[in-house]
Amino acid sequence: MRREPDLVAAVRARPEVARWVWRSTAEVYPRLLAAGVRVERCYDVEDAEQLLLGHEGRLGEPRGAAAPGRACGTPRYRRIPAARRRARLAGLLFEPRPSVSVPFDGLLAVYAEQLRRHDRAGHPGRMRLLTAAESAGMLVAAEMHRAGLPWRADVHRDLLNELLGERYAGGGEPRRLAELADEVSAAFGRRVRPDLPADVVKAFAQAGIRVRSTRRWELEEIDHPAVKPLVAYKKLYRIWTAHGWSWLADWVRDGRFRPEYLPGGTVSGRWTTSGGGALQIPKVIRRAVVADEGWRLVVADADQMEPRVLAAISRDPGLMEVAGHPDDLYTRLSDRAFSGDREHAKLALLGAIYGQTSGDGLKNLAALRRRFPRAVAYVDEAAKAGEEGRLVRTWLGRTSPQAVDAGEDDEAGLPQEAPEGGEFTPGYTPGYASGNARARGRFTRNFVVQGSAADWALLMLAALRRSLAGMRAELVFFQHDEVIVHCPEGEAEAVTAAIRAAGDEAGRIAFGPTPVRFPFTTATVERYADAK
DNA sequence: AGTCCTCACCGG
DNA sequence: AACTCCGGTGAGGACT
Q: Closest residue to B11 by CA to C1' distance? A: A280
**Which nucleotide is nearest to A267 if distance is taken from CA to C1'?**
C6
Q: How far apart are CA A307 and CA A437, in angstroms?
A: 25
**Which nucleotide is nearest to A445 if distance is taken from CA to C1'?**
C5
**Which nucleotide is nearest to A272 if distance is taken from CA to C1'?**
C7
Instruction: Determine the distance between A348 (CA) and B4 (C1') in angstroms.
Output: 40
**Which nucleotide is nearest to A216 if distance is taken from CA to C1'?**
B8
What SS3 string covers A489-518?
A: HHHHHHHHHHHHHHHHHHHHHHHCCCCCCC
Model confidence at A83, pLDDT cuts 50, 70, 90, reads: very low
Instruction: Determine the distance between A194 (CA) and B6 (C1') in angstroms.
Output: 16
Instruction: Determine the distance between A87 (CA) and C13 (C1') in angstroms.
Output: 28
Beta carbons within 10 angstroms of residue A189's beta carbon: 11
Instruction: Determine the distance between A427 (CA) and C5 (C1') in angstroms.
Output: 14
Q: Quick check: A487 and A495 in contact, CB under 8 A? A: yes
The pLDDT tens digits of the residues spanning A189-214 come to: 999 999 888 899 989 999 999 888 88
Domain extent listing, chain A: 4-120, 154-248, 258-532
The pLDDT tens digits of the residues spanning A34-68 come to: 999 999 999 999 999 999 999 998 875 444 333 33
Q: How far apart are the first and last CA of chain A?
A: 54
The pLDDT tens digits of the residues spanning A426-437 come to: 333 333 344 578
Distances (CA, A) of A520 to A66, A79, A481, A483: 32, 38, 9, 10
Q: Identify the architecture of domain A258-532 in CATH.
A: 2-Layer Sandwich (3.30)
Instruction: Determine the distance between A408 (CA) and B3 (C1') in angstroms.
Output: 23
pTM confidence score:
0.87
Whether the pLDDT of residue A109 is over 70: the answer is yes
Beta carbons within 10 angstroms of residue A109's beta carbon: 11
| Nucleotides on chain C within 7 angstroms of protein Cβ | 1-13
Higher model confidence: residue A212 or residue A103? Answer: A212
| Nucleotides on chain B within 7 angstroms of protein Cβ | 3-12
Higher model confidence: residue A366 or residue A100? Answer: A366
Task: Please report residues contacting nucleic strand B, using a CB cutoff of 7 A.
Answer: A 78-79, 81-82, 197, 200-201, 213-216, 219, 234-235, 238, 242, 277, 279-283, 301, 413, 426-427, 450, 479-482
Half-sphere exposure of residue A177: CA atoms within 13 angstroms, side-chain side: 22
What would the CATH number be for the domain defined by A154-248?
1.20.1060
